[in-house]
Amino acid sequence: MASQIAVIGAGPCGLAQLDAFEEARRGGAEIPEITCFEQQSDWGGLWNYTWRTGLDEHGDPVHGSMYRYLWSNGPKECLEFADYTFDEHFGQPIPSFPPREVLYDYITGRAKKNDVRRFIQFNTAVRWISYDEQAGKFAVTVQTRDDGRTRTEQFDKVIVATGHFSTPNMPSFEGFDRFPGRIMHSHDFRDAQEFTGQRLLVIGSSYSAEDIALQTKKYGAQSVTVSYRTQPMGFPWPAGIDEVPLLSKVDGSTAHFADGTTRDVDAIVLCTGYQHSFRFISDELRLRTANVLYPGNLYKGVFWLGQPDLMYLGMQDQYYTFSMFDTQAWYARDYVLGRISLPSPEEMAADIARWRDRLAECAGPFDEIDFQAAYVADLHKEVDYPSYDLDLTRAHFKEWEHDKTASITGYRDKSFSSPCTGTIAPVHHTPWWTELDDSMATFLGNQT
Ligand code: FAD
Ligand code: NA7
């Protein structure tokens, strides 16, 4: 009997896994039986925008953290699928920083081309995974959400691709219980126009804080105060956005900061990151990690050390996204197909330790970019994922960091070249800071 493989989640990582198997099938390989469980009614993961917040129509926590008017926060050239380029999908060169709908179209375009929908059971949530030592298999309990029925199936290997930006890290501050305005986490942020005319306090100093501060100002917030715990982002903010030290308390609607300054604010958005949350995985198999570039316990960033037939995709903090997920998926596929064998547990543990030591040496974003590029290269050299100019993407990321420092409202107007085709992106017809329309039709129309 063919071995049985479960893929959990049909976001970019899960779809990459299905695409990887399809690619091998086309090449003549015999493929195991694959079942992908996706709790949502459609594919695309976070890129599948939902207006919902809190609990969904079935009473489960909403997975989506993306919001309206979200544009790519890095150059698209650094995430391009080497086996399905932007040129192939759009049939024309497009600018380097597309809005969400455009990237959603791209991700799902490859999945449609490969016809991988047939592997996916939608509206089916995985509720529990454990390993049955006697059977030598994983027991996976799923629930079909339409009728609430559960069943347990056995699998030889399980690939977890459920993302890690959906369960908010939600600190509390003194006085929150008496604050008269709205307090929310970035996970629940959907439309910047909710804050038009308001004085907003944003807590955090990473990607979400940066982007939500900009979005809300762009769509008419009166002022945005960004409060940092460790260090300010230090970008040249437009008028109306500035950074202050950590919030110490709120007193009514007055926010007090660690440097003794105060501001009156109308609403607070906690951009305080996310938890890796796998409540559906038994204790001994569950990844526990902060949001770092090399989580412990995952050999090659993928294989669960104690039981490598359990694989995790995309669990790293991310400079690289889709192209890194692809390389991981190709690697996991080749392990499943017996093309790659894994070393002893001791060697795997030593390899993880080497990477984590190297990570500890990183002294800032440039080192981190080099680190993650080296990780991708390390996987890439063992798989037949099409080659592309990884060094060029490394250079792009560093240029992008410079661009952000030069103009945080203007970095999305820059253009980069494709590491796959060499195509140079056109400049978008409207500067991002004044472009209020994020529709695909407007984005693709009238390029200069
Ligand atoms: P996800 O996209 O989260 O997909 C996971 C899938 O698993 C979902 O469909 C979910 O429903 C499903 N799932 C979860 N649990 C279960 C379960 N128990 N049973 C069944 N199915 C389950 N990346 C970029 O490259 N560029 C950007 O501009 C960018 N912007 C971002 C903005 C925000 C606000 C956030 C939160 C992230 C952003 N990212 C961005 C990073 C993002 O993490 C990746 O692009 C990508 O979505 C990760 O893919 P994934 O498949 O790992 O996870
Ligand atoms: P990140 O990148 O994990 O950053 C989390 C931020 O939250 C970071 O600046 C933290 O500060 C801050 N944080 C965490 N806990 C606290 C407390 N208790 N008080 C104050 N500040 C805190 O998450 P993001 O949401 O920004 O980005 C996640 C993804 O979404 C990313 O991939 C993007 O593409 C979009 P620290 O610096 O540790 O002091």
Q: What is the CB < 6 Å shell around ligand 1?
A: 8-14, 37-40, 45-47, 63, 65-66, 70, 72-74, 79, 125-126, 161-163, 165-166, 280, 314, 318, 321
- Ligand minimally distant from the alpha carbon of residue 205: 2
CA nearest ligand 1 atom 12, residue: 9
pLDDT bin (cut points 50, 70, 90) of residue 303 is very high
Pick the atom of ligand 1 nearest to 72's CA: 28
Helix %, strand %, coil % for the chain, to 5? 30, 20, 50
Work out the average pLDDT over 397-412: 98
Q: Answer whether residue 446 shows pLDDT above 80.
A: no
Residue 48: the pLDDT is: 98
Tokens representing 367 are 């080192």
Residue from 38, 46, 271, 293 to probe ligand 1 pocket by mutation (most atoms less than 8 Å from CB): 46
Checking if the pLDDT of 166 tops 80, the result is yes
* One fold for 4-166+274-394 and 170-270: yes
Query: Per-residue pLDDT for 71 more than 90?
Result: yes
Is residue 182 within 8 A of residue 193, CB to CB? The reply is: no
**Percent of the chain having pLDDT more than 70?**
99
Domain 4-166+274-394 carries which CATH code? 3.50.50.60
Q: What is the mean pLDDT of residues 310-331?
A: 98
Q: Is the CB of 71 under 6 A from ligand 2?
A: no
Please, which pLDDT band fits residue 2 given cuts at 50, 70 and 90?
confident
Tell me which residue has tokens 């316990």: 297
* Residue 167, ligand 2, Cβ within 6 A: no
- In percent, how much of the chain has pLDDT > 90? 99
pLDDT value at 143 more than 80? yes
Mean pLDDT of 394-405: 98
Cα 75 to chain centroid distance, Å, stands at: 15
Strand partners, 224: 200, 241
Residue nearest to atom 3 of ligand 1 (CA): 163
pLDDT of 365-377, one tens digit each?
999 999 999 999 9
Quick one: pLDDT band at residue 447, thresholds 50, 70, 90?
low
How far apart, in whole angstroms, are the C-alpha atoms of residue 228 and residue 272? 10
Taking the CA of residue 406 as centre, how many other CA atoms within 13 Å lie in the half-sphere pointing to its CB?
11
- How many whole angstroms from 62 Cα to the centroid of ligand 2? 20
Question: Which of 100, 108, 150, 165 to mutate for ligand 1's pocket (most ligand atoms within 8 Å of CB)?
Answer: 165
Q: What is the pLDDT of residues 85-96, one digit of tens each?
A: 999 999 999 999
Domain ranges across the chain: 4-166+274-394, 170-270
Q: Which two tokens stand for residue 12?
A: 């970019």
The CA 414 to ligand 2 mean position distance, Å, reads 26
Mutate to test the pocket of ligand 2, among 97, 164, 244, 272 (most ligand atoms within 8 A of CB): 272
Nearest ligand to the CA atom of 69: 1
Residue 357 burial (C-beta neighbours within 10 Å; 0-12, 13-18, 19+)? exposed
CATH number among 3.40.50.300, 3.50.50.60, 1.25.40.10, 3.90.920.20, domain 170-270 = 3.50.50.60
At 15-62, the pLDDT tens digits run 999 999 999 999 999 999 999 999 999 999 999 999 999 999 999 999
Q: How far is the CA of 245 from the centre of ligand 2 (A)?
A: 15
pLDDT at 247: 98
Taking residues 102-129, report their average pLDDT: 98
Find the farthest-apart pair of alpha carbons in the chain and give their distance in angstroms, rounded: 69
- Which pLDDT value is given to residue 125? 98
Nearest-CA residue for atom 16 of ligand 2: 272
Which ligand sits nearest to residue 314's alpha carbon? 1
Average pLDDT rounded to a whole number, residues 214-218? 98
Q: Tens of pLDDT along 184-208?
A: 999 999 999 999 999 999 999 999 9
- CA-CA-CA-CA torsion for 49, 318, 304, 141, nearest 10 degrees? -10
Binned at pLDDT 50, 70 and 90, residue 279 comes out as very high
Q: What are phi and psi of 33, to 5 degrees?
A: -80, 125
- Residue found by looking up tokens 């060094």 in the block: 391
